[in-house]
Amino acid sequence: MEERTGGIHSISLPVPFPVGTVNVYLVDEEPITLIDTGVKSDDSLRVLKDSLGELGCPIDSIRRILITHGHVDHYGQAKRISAISGAQIFIHKNDFQRIRSMDQFWENLAPVLRQNGTPRDSLEGAIDYMKSAVRSLAEPPDDVCFIQDGDEICFEDLALRSILCPGHSPGLLCFYLEKKGILISGDHLLSEISPNPIMDLKSEGAGPPSTSLKKYLDSIEKIRGLEVSLVLPGHGEPIQGFPGALTKILSHHEQRLSNLLSVLSMGEKTAYEISTALFPKARHFEVFLGVSEVLGHLRILLDEGRIAWRSKNGLDYYART
Q: Which residues bind Zn ion (CB under 5 A)?
A: 73, 187, 234
Bridge partners, residue 170, by sequence? none
CB of 213 or CB of 307, closer to Zn ion: 213
Alpha carbons 250 and 247: distance in angstroms, whole number: 5
Instruction: Give 95 or 187: the residue with its C-beta nearer to Zn ion.
Output: 187
CB of 284 vs Zn ion, minimal distance in Å: 17
For residue 258, the minimal CB distance to Zn ion (Å) is 27
Query: What is the rounded CA–CA span in Å between residue 74 and residue 96?
Result: 12
Cβ at position 229, least distance to Zn ion in Å: 23
**Helix (H) or strand (E) segment spanning residue 303:** helix 285-303
Choose between 187 and 293: whose C-beta lies nearer to Zn ion. 187
Length of the chain counted residue by residue = 321
Closest Cα partner for 288 from 302, 272, 301? Answer: 272
Q: Smallest distance from the beta carbon of 135 to Zn ion, in angstroms?
A: 18
For residue 178, the 8-state DSSP code is G
Q: Please state, in angstroms and rounded to a whole number, the distance separating the CA atoms of residues 265 and 138.
A: 43
Are residues 233 and 68 in contact, defined by beta-carbon separation less than 8 angstroms?
no
Nearest-angstrom CA–CA distance, 134 and 147 = 23
Give min distance, CB of 236 to Zn ion, in A: 10
Complex with Zn ion: residue 141 or 186, whichever CB lies closer: 186
3-state secondary structure of 231: strand
Alpha helices in 138-264 (DSSP H): 212-223, 242-264
Of 36 and 273, the one with the shorter C-beta distance to Zn ion is 36
Residue closer to Zn ion (CB basis): 187 or 273: 187
Least separation in angstroms between residue 74's CB and Zn ion is 6
